[in-house]
Amino acid sequence: MKGMANGMIEVDSLTKQRAGRPVLDAVSLRGTEAGVTVLVGASGSGKSTLLRCLNGLEIFEGGSITIAGHRLAAGGQSTPVLDDLRRDVGMVFQQFNLFPHLSVLENVMLAPRVVSKLPVEEARSRAVDLLDRVGLSSFAAARPATLSGGQQQRVAIARALAMRPRVMLFDEPTSALDPTMTSEVLEVIVDLAKGGQTMVVVTHDHGFAKRAATWVVELAAGRVVRQGTATEVLP
Ligand SMILES: Nc1ncnc2c1ncn2[C@@H]1O[C@H](COP(=O)(O)OP(=O)(O)OP(=O)(O)O)[C@@H](O)[C@H]1O
Ligand SMILES: [Mg+2]
């Protein structure tokens, strides 16, 4: 269901257990209507799990999520709901997971072709524009393995953007990268933020959070311990 809540993210009392132990414990997020929400917290605090719940990759036992007009209930979603959700919510992981046998351009064209049945010329021109936007026009014909980690991550971002998602989720997008590659990827994400893309970013990069975050949420042991602006929450 799509409505006025375009891009809005609301999490109400979300509870998720693993092996009988809560890994998310009554997590509620508000004030994330649009803009850039940054999730911080120690290793194991539940950041990735929360992000995966937002994309329907995890089943949760309690509470509910509304994201980009889709309502996710406890106990799992039907396949049509998940298909709809994933058209509107893109995700970028720490490991880029590009298709190694496809060119960079083909990687970016694939989901619009297969999922949205976009005609090949439209998918191609959309992919060309996106590769330009992430500064990789000259790599369109290359295989992913011939690119640096930072370049591969920018392809992964272009690939997610190709579905024109209302919300983008990033799970530590730079933690596998060296400082130079980190900054080239963060520049792309900051540009997206400036362009008005709603996103949730898990990162340990407080510099990025201070530049780009409209809202910062700190998790500890599966609970929200603080949320507010970057200056309120971060040291
Ligand atoms: N596949 C799994 N099976 C069992 N437990 C898991 C699994 N994945 C994560 N956990 C547990 O769930 C909790 C939350 O993990 P999660 O990966 O969400 O944390 P995180 O904040 O993303 O940590 P990190 O900063 O290390 O990525 C941890 O206690 C973790 O051990
Ligand atoms: Mg994680």
Low-confidence ranges of the chain (pLDDT < 50): 1-6
Q: Helix or strand or coil: residue 62?
A: strand
The residue whose CB lies within 8 Å of the most ligand 1 atoms, and thus the one to mutate among 24, 40, 45, is: 45
The rounded distance, in Å, linking the Cα atoms of 133 and 138 is: 12
Domains identified in the chain, total number = 1
Q: Is residue 104 part of a domain?
A: yes
The rounded distance, in Å, linking the Cα atoms of 87 and 112 is: 9
pLDDT digits (tens, 9 = 90+) for 163-205: 999 999 999 999 989 999 999 999 999 999 999 999 999 999 9
- Look up the CATH number of the domain holding residue 13: 3.40.50.300
pTM above 0.85, yes or no: yes
Q: How many CA atoms lie within 13 A of 190 on its CB side?
A: 13
CB within 6 Å of ligand 1 — which residues?
Answer: 18, 23, 41, 43-49
The rounded distance, in Å, linking the Cα atoms of 10 and 31 is: 8
Q: Is residue 34 part of a domain?
A: yes
Q: Give me ligand 1 centre to Cα 221, in Å.
A: 10
Q: Please identify, by atom number, the ligand 1 atom nearest to the C-alpha of residue 24.
A: 14
Q: Give me ligand 2 centre to Cα 217, in Å.
A: 14
